[in-house]
Chains A and B, each alone.
Chain A
Amino acid sequence: MSDAKHDDHGGHDHGDDHGHGHGSQSRFIQHHYDDAQHQFDSGKFGIWLFLAQEVLFFSALFVAYVLYRVHHPEIYSYAHKWLDVKYGATNTAVLIFSSLTAAWAVRAAQLGQRRLLILCLATTIVCACAFLCIKYVEYHHKWKEQALFGHLFDPCVTPGGEELITKKNHCDGTKSSVDYDMAADKPTSGCFEISKLDLDPNRVGIQADCQVTEVQISKDSKGKDVEGASRPITDRCDDELVDLLEKIEGGGHAGDVPTHETAGAESADEKAHHQKFPCWRPSYQPAVCQDLTDSAKRAQGQGSKPTAGILVEYGDDEVHRDVKIKATCKAPATVAPVADPMADKANVLAEGVKAVDPAREISTHEEFELESLGPPPEHTSMFLTIYFAMTGLHGIHVFVGIIVFIWLLRRAIRGDFTPDYFGPVDFSALYWHIVDLIWIFLFPLLYLIH
Chain B
Amino acid sequence: MSASAEHHDDPGHGIAHVATIKTLLATGTTLLFLTLLTVLATRVDFGANINLAVAMVIAVTKATLVVLFFMHLRYDRLFHTVVFVSALCAASLFVGFTLMDTSQYQHTNIWDPSVPPPAPVGWHPTG
Contacts and interface: CB of A to CB of B under 8 A. Distances in A.
B16 interface: yes
Given A337-B114, A437-B67, A51 B84 contact: yes
Interface string B30-60: 0110011011001001111001100110110
Contact of B27 (A48, A55, A100): A100
Interface residues of A, number: 69
Contacts of A37: 14-15
A17 B13 CA distance: 12
B121 interface: no
A96 to B, nearest CB: 5
B83 A49 contact: yes
B31 to A, nearest CB: 5
B63 interface: yes
A419 B13 contact: yes
A97 to B, nearest CB: 7
Nearest to A16: B1
Interface string A355-372: 000000001110000000
Interface string B58-83: 11001100110111100011011001
A258 to B, nearest CB: 27
B59 A444 contact: yes
Contacts of B84: 48, 51-52, 55
A110 B32 contact: no
Majority DSSP secondary structure for residues of A touching B: helix
Given A59-B90, A444-B58, A40 B63 contact: no
Interface stretch (A62-70, A261-269, A304-312): A62-70
Contacts of A291: none
B24 interface: yes
A40 B16 CA distance: 9
B99 A66 contact: yes
B42 A450 contact: yes
A321 interface: no
B119 interface: no
A45 B47 CA distance: 43
A327 interface: no
A89 B15 contact: no
A41 B14 CA distance: 12
A103 interface: yes
Contacts of B112: 204
A428 B2 CA distance: 26
B55 A420 contact: no
Interface string A82-121: 0001000100110011011011101100111000000000
Interface residues of B, number: 62
Interface in A393-409: none
A60 interface: yes
Interface in A430-450: 430, 433, 436-437, 440-441, 443-445, 448-450
Contacts of A67: 98-99, 102
Given A433-B70, A437-B66, A448 B39 contact: yes
B98 A63 contact: yes
Contacts of B103: 70
A343 interface: no
A420 B1 CA distance: 11
A103 B19 contact: yes
Contacts of A59: 90-91, 94-95
A338 B47 CA distance: 34
A112 B76 CA distance: 21
Contacts of B52: 449-450
Given A85-B39, A365-B45, A441-B59, A112 B5 contact: yes
Contacts of B71: 430, 433
Contact of B14 (A45, A77, A335, A419): A419
A227 to B, nearest CB: 48
Interface of B: 1-3, 5, 8, 13-16, 18-19, 21, 24-25, 27-28, 31-32, 35-36, 38-39, 42, 45-48, 51-52, 55-56, 58-59, 62-63, 66-67, 69-72, 76-77, 79-80, 83-84, 86-88, 90-91, 94-95, 98-99, 102-103, 106, 112, 114-115
Given A15-B1, A48-B83, A63-B95, 4 more contacts: A59-B91, A67-B99, A67-B102, A111-B13
6 smallest CB-CB distances across A and B, nearest first, come from A59-B91, A52-B87, A100-B28, A450-B51, A444-B55, A55-B87
17 contacts: A12-B5, A37-B14, A45-B80, A52-B84, A55-B90, A63-B95, A66-B98, A70-B99, A96-B32, A99-B28, A102-B70, A104-B24, A335-B114, A338-B114, A420-B15, A441-B63, A444-B56
